[in-house]
Structure 1
Amino acid sequence: MNDSEYEAGEGTEADGTPQERPGVEWARPGSVGVCVIGAGAMGGLLGGRLANAGADVSLVDQGAHREAMAENGLTLLGPDDTRHVVVNPTVRADTADLGTQDLVILSVKAYDLPSVAPSVGPLVGPETVILPVQNGIPWWYFHGFDGELEGHRIESVDPDGVVERHIDTERVIGCVPFAAGEVVEPGVVRHTEGRWFPVGELDGTTTPRIRGITDLLGRIGLRSRVLDDVRSELWLKALGNLSFNPVSALTRATLGEICRDPETRALVRTMMEEAKAVAEALGASFRRSIDDRIEGAETVGDHRTSMLQDLERGDRLELEALVGTVLELAEVTGKPAPTIRTVYRLTHLLDETRRR
């Protein structure tokens, strides 16, 4: 889903225009302390833009990417080939000496979150906001949920409850990133398309901090709005993630190629229909049709999904958060999902055999 296809609908859009709101300090990036845990495609994009706008940003990452950022800075490449370098960023392998932050952005893969969660606590002060920027159905989905599943833990993303125990969900703001990017080489992040980062309180209320986050995102050249139903927006994006990602890994095809081929187009449509039935059983609603969702993906063109990028790099596939969660919720709601399950099993085997 790209910018031209994304419609804001109801809500409050932030485009960088000054707004008189409570918590106005959010509108001054220079006053905000930010820790980005996972400075890859989305984390690097957000952290780099925030740093360039004057925010006090710390980037936490591992391996060659961390070493390159520490030595040469973080380079951001834009969709129009613009190039911005964050010089001498604060780069760490962990959060131990960073102190409390105003904003903690969690942008690691969902399978890494249980190991990362214990490191979040030292960053949290009285007013800290935690912003997970991840794909798939999140661990917090049933926190404050209106229904009998309130408090239900999603085993696929938090099997032992580690995340729930270490991250205060009351501080979490939901975010649904409609953007794409990749780490093209250590220390270099390319933003390929999309600027939408709508956000919402988990209970659907409009608070000073949620307005503040939309202000902040607008100030760094992104687009946001306040969602009154962040879970429905998560499902709208999840329809694409749970279908295009595993199909792209199995076929090595781009979004455009999957949409142009009649057979794979029909396959992802069936997967989306099965997932939509699960979402609706949980009370979610959809502001766009499945056909619109597929056509929106087709307009993105020959983009390699995050799962295909992971496959090509030899990284573990983010299968549980994107697909396993939907199958788990299909069991919870009693909805059949045979096509999703078949694609999941094939992709799971692909991941296992490749890693062995």
Structure 2
Amino acid sequence: MFSEKDFIAGQFNTIETASFEWSAPSNIALVKYWGKKENQIPANPSISFTLNNCKTITKLEVAKKSDVSSFSFDLLFEGKPKEDFKPKIQKFFERIEKYCPFLKEYHFKIDTQNTFPHSSGIASSASGMAALAMNIMSLEKALNPAMTEEYFFAKASFLARLGSGSACRSIKGQVVVWGKHAEIDNSSDLFGVEFSDIHPSFKNFQDTILLVDKGEKQVSSTVGHDLMHNHPYSERRFAQAHENLSQMKGVLSKGNVDEFIKIVESEALTLHAMMMTSMPYFILMKPNTLEIINRLWKFRTETHIPVCFTLDAGANVHVLYPENVKEKVLQFIQDELVDYCQKGHYICDQIGDGAKQLN
């Protein structure tokens, strides 16, 4: 089990130039994290499905430089300079410098792209920060070849968390737990850990993402997390997350899809209930979000097909279901739900394995 001190780097070799490339996926939380403490520490534990198709691909080129007084980087998004992304990268480097003291010794060229449209309403901060963290760890590995694989992935998750909390769940594993929980071995607030006891019922689980609203959210997730500090229901919510994660642990191990549906949908609605009962209060769901949910409930009642929804901090709906009912669910989406998606757009995805090195 690694502590924060373990991630403070020691002595390194020197290299003049290097190039790395990684992809990292987005993820969707089943038990939600909402509210955080200092240094990107979650107020409650969470568990997520790692996605497969919705991912960020980032290439990192590094070159040794003589001036070590400041960070130096160029940022390209889909081949073009992206100045408005640079402050977030600068802040990320400032947060991780303590653990990666070699950063100011190099000039970085960061070339990144998403496999899904940036304006699609799918959170790209998790996949983006995870991909960048993997590249930085590849550089550290080149500087310290004796590094173990376990340390490599744990520190990558640790660094990703400092860029975007949920990014730590996009590093390794089909199902990932982030946050200390009494019943999850080696669970930590500092990084995500792979949950491997998964029943075959959840292998190849599908996630079709219905793009209800592609616009920027009226309230950012960062602001929403901060509103949990004085929230009248925060302490009960944090306790509920621990309870639901305990239940989810057994559900995923035993393959109980019916209980999975109950927990996942309750968690989604609880997340939005916290938004609606904060001060100031806000609503990120749209009328079409509710229409989709009601039609999905009706479809499930009439057909007994095990399909459910979850939501992130936005209006889009993630439709989750086993692979063996894929054809019927996709037909239902085409027949009844696509009209409630912006421009009829949706993305078909499924459980994936995490970050992958591409060169």
Whether these two folds match at TM > 0.5 is: no
Give the structure with higher Rg (CA).
2
- TM-score normalised over the length of structure 1: 0.26
How does the TM-score come out when normalised to structure 2?
Answer: 0.26
Q: Which has the higher strand share?
A: 2
Between 1 and 2, higher relative CO (CA 8 Å, sep ≥ 6) is seen in 2
